[in-house]
A = this chain, B = another copy of it.
Amino acid sequence: MIGDMNSTIELAERGAARIEWIRSRMPLLARARDELAVSRPFEGHRIGMSLHLEPKTAVLLETLVAGGAEVVGTGNHGSTQDDVVAFLVRGGMTLFGRRDDTLEEHLAHVGQVLDSRPDMLLDNGGDLAAGVVARGTADEIVGGTEETTSGGDRLRGELAGAVSFPMIVINDSLLKAIGENKHAVGQSVVESFMRITNLMVPGRRFVVFGYGWCGRGVAHYLRALGGKVAVVEVDELKAFEAALDGFRVSEAEGVAAWGDVFITATGHPGVVTLETIGLMHDGAVLANCGHFPWEIDVEGLRAASTSRREIVDAVERIDLPDGRHVILLAGGRMFNLAGTEPKGNSLESMDLGFLLQTLSLERVATGAATLTPGAQPVPDDIDRTIARRMLGELRADS
């Protein structure tokens, strides 16, 4: 077992090293850590959490612990970074899960988190809240936060009524839509396109599907870098906005033969169909940045192909019966999290999102009475506090 111990120590060291740079560039959490270390709002609370376990999340968890929290948690299935877990466990947190967990193992870990009887939840997709409801232990919960819009939908849908405690939905914050979905995803998508493909952006023809928060960001940043950008959007009001923003706005068929790179950002399935792909020119590039890997009909495409293979990391060449080929990035999954050493959203945008988490959890701990049961947006004063702090950190006034 000594070998194991050594390798755990090594793992934890590696985690520590990777977190250092990141922590040093998350000043909003740093300040919160200092403040919470004095006020200790989470003293006596056990926070059950379920969130992507990577270095940025580690800085959030350190902040909660500094505020007195006991953290018991697990990651998302398949994305847990073992060195980060090793580092955090060494620091005293109770975390379940490894990168290679099977789905059953993962679900067992969610159960273990609930077994620990947390009285606060840091949820992601509604799994913890649903578990609490299923176990009938909702009255043990002071409240919590939910990271995603789809978790929020679940709280307002199937779990409505059953969730007797306040759950603040982080992703509904306008701050997050602007800071993360528009600007951070926009930046991350152009960075990833360049990093993965090494192709030239200026003068290239891009088609962006969706002109919501993410699509707006992607379309703007691609054009800013000299790309020619067309937008496909089913909502005519957003299509109108895109047109006045100076973009070509068309149905997919109208730009399929024109476009060179096709990027989906709609959150909806089946957006790029086999039919549309049939109109594209030889060598067209397909990529998705929406949450689910369903926006491009990858299955249909692969089924229709005569051969396919990964040429370089995250770049798959798919040959079609008519002699054309298309290039699929990251197998249709979020391509800004793919390829060698993906960075994901910028540190500052995550700092912002995690301060939303931190101050919302603090509100739950210290002012649950000011909240209502069930899903609700981030309290306005928290949004404003964070906006002000972020303006300060950016030194926006100079």
Contacts and interface: CB of A to CB of B under 8 A. Distances in A.
A175 interface: yes
Contacts of A248: 228, 396-398
Given A194-B343, A315-B21, A346-B198, A396 B237 contact: no
Contacts of A398: 205, 248, 250, 258
A372 B197 CA distance: 41
A21 B311 contact: yes
Interface in A9-61: 17-18, 20-22, 24-25
Contacts of A396: 203, 239, 243, 248-250
A112 B174 CA distance: 48
B228 A246 contact: yes
B200 A183 contact: yes
Given A346-B199, A397-B254, A246 B221 contact: no
A341 B343 contact: no
Interface in A203-223: 203-205, 221, 223
Interface string A358-398: 00000000000000000000000001100110110011111
A347 interface: yes
B343 A183 contact: no
Interface string A232-263: 00001101110111101111001100101000
Contacts of A195: 191, 195, 341, 343
B397 A251 contact: yes
A202 B246 contact: yes
A349 interface: yes
A240 B187 contact: no
30 contacts: A17-B312, A21-B311, A21-B315, A22-B198, A24-B311, A25-B197, A25-B198, A178-B240, A179-B240, A183-B244, A184-B200, A187-B200, A187-B201, A190-B191, A191-B191, A191-B195, A195-B341, A195-B343, A198-B344, A200-B346, A202-B245, A226-B245, A226-B246, A227-B246, A228-B248, A237-B384, A243-B394, A248-B398, A249-B391, A249-B397
Assembly stoichiometry (copies): 4
Given A198-B22, A199-B348, A203-B244, A384 B187 contact: no
Nearest to A315: B21
Nearest to A342: B195
Contacts of A200: 183-184, 187, 346-349
Contacts of A241: 178
A283 B395 CA distance: 13
Interface of A: 17-18, 20-22, 24-25, 174-175, 178-179, 182-184, 187-188, 190-191, 194-195, 197-205, 221, 223-228, 236-237, 239-241, 243-246, 248-251, 254-255, 258, 260, 283, 311-312, 315, 340-341, 343-344, 346-349, 383-384, 387-388, 390-391, 394-398
Contacts of A384: 236-237
A251 to B, nearest CB: 7
Contacts of A225: 187, 190, 221, 224-225
A155 B349 CA distance: 42
A320 to B, nearest CB: 15
A219 B161 CA distance: 46
A397 B398 CA distance: 13
A393 B195 CA distance: 22
A312 B246 contact: no
B240 A391 contact: yes
A30 B344 CA distance: 35
